[in-house]
Structure 1
Amino acid sequence: MRRIGEFDQEKSALKFWSFLKGQGIDSTLEKDDDDQKWSIWVAEEDNINRSIEELKEFLADPEAKKFISIATGPMEKAKIEEHEESPKPKRQGFKEYKLREKWASRDRSSGTLTLALIITCAAVYLLSGLGSNTELVGKFFISEKLDGRLSEFVAGEIWRIFTPMFLHFSFFHILFNMWWLHDLGSQIEKKKGPKHFISFVLILAAVSNLTQFWMEGPAFGGMSGVVYGLFGYIWIKCKYDPGDGFFLDPFASILIFGFLIYGFAGGGAGVANWAHAGGLLVGLAWGYGSALRWNLGKS
C-alpha cells in the first residue's frame, strides 16, 4: 500500500477516492487529524502509476466529466453524504491514522522465497554438522584456495560468489540472520514481488561476498551481508519514501548499526565486517535510487 497524495479539502478527497473506487482501484481514504489533511492510499503496486496520473488530471480539472459522472453516481454520492454527515472524531493529541499502527498490524508471515532461503540455510547448517564439517563447508566457500584469484569461479563455478550466504557457524549466528531475513526479506518480497526480491538478494550476496573476499580472504560465511543490504534498503525507504509502507523498529536500527560499528572497532572475532559494509552500501544505494525515482515520478 502506498500513499499517492493528500488533500486539504475533505470533499475533494472524497470525490477522488470515490472515482478510484468506481474504476475498481482498491484504495483507502484516511484523515490526518494533526494537520487536517486527507490522504489517499492505493493498495496494489500495479495501480500506483495509473492512480497518480488520474490524480494529476483531477487536480488540474476536478470538474471534468469523467470525475463527475463516476464519482457522483447514486451509490458513491450516498457514500459521500454518509461520510459528511457522520460524527467527526474529537481532536486528539495524536494522529487518527497512525502509520506505526498500520505497519504493526501488517502480515508477518514469511514470503515464499524468504522461507525457501531460511529452510536452505537451516538445512546447510544441519548437514554441515553445525558448521563443523570442513569438507562440506569448503564447497560453499567463495574459494577453497588462498591465492586470492577466485580460481573456482574462473573455472566455471559461478555459484560460489553466492553460496557463502548459506553457511553459518553457530546457533546464534544463524538465529540472528534468519530472524532479520524473515522480518526484512518478507517485507520486500511482498511489496516488490519475488523476482525483484531474489534479484536483489543475489546482488547483495555477490557484492558482500566479493568485498569480504578481497579484504580478508575466503574463510567466511553467513547471510548477514544480505541482511545488512535489506536493512539499508528499508532504512532509506522509510526515511525518503515512507509511503511505500516499510517499517523498521527504531531499536532494531540502533542494534544493527551498533553491531556494525562494534565489529569494525575490533569486537567479535571472526565477524565478516566487510561483507556487512558491502551489503549495507548496496542496500542504501538501491533504496535511495528507488525513493528518488518515486519522488521524481510524482513531480
Structure 2
Amino acid sequence: MFTLHQFQNLRAAQAFSDYLTALNIKNKIQHDDFYYQLLIEQSPLLPRAQAELELFLQNPNDPKYISVSWHTGTTNNDSDHLAYVHSNIISNFISHAGLITHSVFAFCVVIFTLTSLGFFNPIPSVFAFFTQQPFDYTQSWRFVTPAFLHFSLLHIVFNLLWWWQLGGIVEKQHGKQRILILFFFSAVAANLAQYYLVSPYFGGLSGVVYGLVGYCWLYGKLNKGSEVNLPNSYFIFLMAWLVFGFVDLLPVNVANYAHLLGLFAGLVLAAICSKIKI
C-alpha cells in the first residue's frame, strides 16, 4: 500500500476516501498517533488518484465530495460523531499507553488532587527535593519524586497530555524497561539541574516530558520508519515553549533548567539506544 496523503481531519480523509471509492480506486484510512493516513494500492490508477488529491486539497468543500459521502452512507452528523468519540475515549486512552505510563499519570493526578484539597503542602513535603547538602541518601527517592508535584491545573494538564502521548508511544513500542529508564534518567537529570542552578523549590513532570520530546524526535530521525518519532512541527513548538520560558514570556513560572536538562537526557538516551540498536 502507498500512503497517498496524511490528513489531520477525519472528515476530510473520509470525504476524499469515499470519492476515490466512487471512482473505483481502492483505498483505506489508517490512523496513527498524529494523522489519518489515506492508503492506496500501487496500481495504474495511482496517477489519477494523485491528480484528484490535488483538486481536493484546492477545494475540499466542493459539493461533489459531500454528495458522494451521502450516497455511500458514510457522512455522519456532528451528534453521531461526538457520540462515537465519547464512546471510544476511554478505550482509546487505555489502549494508547501501558502500565507504567498510566501509573505515573494516575499518581500525578492523585498527588495534585490531595494538594488542591489541602491535605498537604507539596513544598516542603516527602516528595520535594532536598533542601540542603549533604544529601541524605536514605531518602534517595527525592531525586525523582519532585516530578510528581504540580502547582496549577494548566501545569498538570500540559505535562500529563504530553506524558500520555509520548510516554505511551515509547512504552508500547520499546517496552516497560525503556520508559522506566527514560523516566528516571530524565527526572534525575532535570531535578539536579534545577536544584544546582536555581533552587530546591520546584516540581513537575515537564523535565521528563522534555526527555520524551528529545528521545522521540532524535530516535525518529536516526531510525527512519520507526513508530517512535515526533514530527518536526511538534518539536519546533515545544522548543519555542522552552525558549519562551527562558525569556519569561509564559503565563506561568516554569523550571527552565529542568526542561533543558531533561531534553538533553532524552537526546543522549536516543543516541545511545540507536547506536547499540536496542
Q: Aligned letter for 2:166?
A: L
Matched pairs, number: 198
The Cα shift of 1:164 comes to 0.2
- Determine which structure has more spread, i.e. the larger CA radius of gyration: 1
Q: Secondary structure at the match of 2:96?
A: coil
Task: Tell me, yes or no, if structure 1 residue 270 matches structure 2 residue 253.
Answer: yes
Match for residue 197 of structure 2 among 207, 211, 215: 215
Sort the Cα spacing of 1:256 and 1:131 in 2 relative to 1 into closer, same or farther, 3 A: farther
In structure 2, what is the Cα distance between the partners aligned to 1:89 and 1:173? 52
1:55-91 per-residue CA deviation (whole Å, 9 max, x = no partner) reads xxxxxxxxxxxxxxxxxxxxxxxxxxxxxxx983433
Instruction: Tell me the alpha carbon deviations over residues 120-140 of structure 1, each in whole angstroms, 9 at most, x when there is no partner.
Output: 000000111268942675221
Of 78, 83, 90, which residue of structure 1 is paired with 2:45?
90
| Contact 2:214/2:263 (<8 A) preserved | yes
Q: Does 1:290 align with 2:273?
A: yes
Please tell me the residue identity of whatever aligns with 2:178.
H
1:261 is aligned to 243
**Partner-residue secondary structure (3-state), 1:157:** helix
1:50-61 alignment runs, 5 A limit: none
Is 1:173 matched with 2:143?
no
Counterpart of 1:169, as a letter, is F
Q: CA RMSD in A?
A: 2.8
More displaced 10-residue stretch of structure 1: 108-117 or 226-235: 108-117
- What does 1:15-164 align with in structure 2 at a 5 Å threshold? 88-92=43-47, 109-129=96-116, 133-134=120-121, 137-143=124-130, 145=131, 147=132, 149=133, 151=134, 153-164=135-146
1:131–1:168 CA contact under 8 A, matched in 2: no
CA distance in 1, matches of 2:191, 2:206: 10
Q: How does 1:205-244 map to 2 (within 5 A)?
A: 205-244=187-226
Whole-Å separation in 1 of the counterparts to 2:141 and 2:176: 20
In structure 1, the residue matched to 2:80 is none
Give the match's secondary structure for 2:248: coil
- AA partner of residue 215 (structure 1): L
Q: TM-score, normalised by structure 1?
A: 0.60
CA–CA distance in 2 between the matches of 1:204 and 1:234?
13
Cross-structure match for 1:12: none
In the TM superposition, what is the alpha-carbon distance from 1:199 to its structure 2 partner? 1.9
Gaps of at least 5 residues in structure 2 are 5-40, 51-91
Equivalent position amino acid for 2:266 in 1: G
Q: For residues 218-252 of structure 1, give each alpha carbon's deviation from its aligned partner in whole angstroms, at most 9, with x where no partner exists.
A: 10000000000011000001212122222424432
Q: Which amino acid counterpart does residue 43 of structure 2 have in structure 1?
A: K
User: Secondary structure at the residue paired with 1:244?
Assistant: coil
2:227 pairs, out of 245, 250, 259, with 245
Distance 1:87 1:157 in 2: 60
Q: Deviations over 1:104-154 (max 9, x none)?
A: x9x9622211000000000000111268942675221112x3x4x2x4x42
CA distance in 2, matches of 1:91, 1:180: 37
Instruction: Give the gaps of 5 or more residues in structure 1.
Output: 1-29, 34-85, 95-104
SS in 1 for 2:116: coil
